[in-house]
Amino acid sequence: MKFGLGQKVIITGASTGIGKAIAKELAKAGAQVGLLARRKELLLELVNDVQTLGGKAFYKTADISNRQETLLGISELINCMNGVDILIANAGVGAPTTIQPFNVETQEKIIKVNLLGVIYCIEAVLQTMLDSGKGQIVAISSLAGFKGLPGESGYTASKAGLNTFMEGMRIQLRPKNIFVSTICPGFIKTPMTEVNDEKDMPWLMEAETAAKIIIKAIQRKTKVLRFPWQTSLLMRITGLLPDWIIERVMKKYNDNPPMPKNPL
């Protein structure tokens, strides 16, 4: 599938990071993009950027963890664009899991956004795609979803759940001509990762570089993309290590966990 004039793409979490970079790349190809995020002022800036680059943009505000807001926002975008070809469920959040205190509310928010939020987005586009007999659903997950990590239990659980959910949907929707892709990047330079020490994020990648890789995977209808290969290999190796090694390696991180600047 080639992105181009007339292609209708809805992107969640579009106001910053990977979502914003993808929107700009699609704009260069002349695609129509429906942008969904919480912050109106950032969406308005992105709409202007998209139009400057030759694309056509529509926007709606919604908190992806709120089912009704998400359904309404995406429904309105579908109406504005008169359909949808591709959903890129990109919105995601992250924060450490602490044990003293045990920050349950933070973990609930992570799972609501990273897993339930994607499910709400799929709900919002699915009937339209089924009615048209075609479509593509893309979820931005993470390499972290392949290993439970100390201090990141909530985040890794949300992404592991997302990976499994998307796998099931991929198989179930296969005969319906709706393609499903799960994108699992490593460390990407975004507002979510800026609180981390760059020394703790090997093979850190710019969002613009990641966006180009993701778009190519979408065009190829890749089932599961893990990148960069170095971080993917590192996670595979980590999965084979004994617990005591992982605990020791991540002790410094857990002694002083990097909390997000803005509350979830």
Domains and CATH numbers, the chain: 8-255 (3.40.50.720)
Going from the C-alpha of 248 to that of each of 75, 137, 230, 234, the distances in angstroms are: 48, 39, 22, 16
Residue 18: per-residue pLDDT: 97
Which tokens belong to 262?
Answer: 């803005």
Three-state secondary-structure class, residue 206? strand
Residue 3: per-residue pLDDT: 61
Three-state secondary-structure class, residue 205? strand
In what helix (H) or strand (E) does residue 135 lie, and over which residues does it extend? Answer: strand 135-140
Residue 10 to residue 185: CA distance in whole angstroms? 20
- Return the closest-CA partner of residue 155 out of 123, 198, 187, 189: 187
Radius of gyration of the chain (CA): 18
Q: Which amino acid belongs to residue 162?
A: L
Residue 201: per-residue pLDDT: 86
The single residue of 59, 120, 155, 253 carrying the catalytic annotation is 155
Residue 1: per-residue pLDDT: 46
155 annotated active-site = yes
Residue 4: per-residue pLDDT: 60
- Rounded (10°) angle between helices 40-52 and 17-28: 20
Residue 5: per-residue pLDDT: 63
Q: Which amino acid belongs to residue 173?
A: L
The verdict on pTM exceeding 0.85 is: yes
Which tokens belong to 115?
Answer: 């897993």
Return the half-sphere exposure (C-beta side, CA atoms, 13 A cut-off) of residue 184: 27
Divide the 264 residues of the chain into consecutive groups of 10 and give the mean pLDDT of each group.
74 96 93 96 96 94 97 98 97 95 96 98 98 97 96 97 98 98 95 81 94 96 97 96 96 90 76
Identify the residue whose tokens are 């909530």: 154
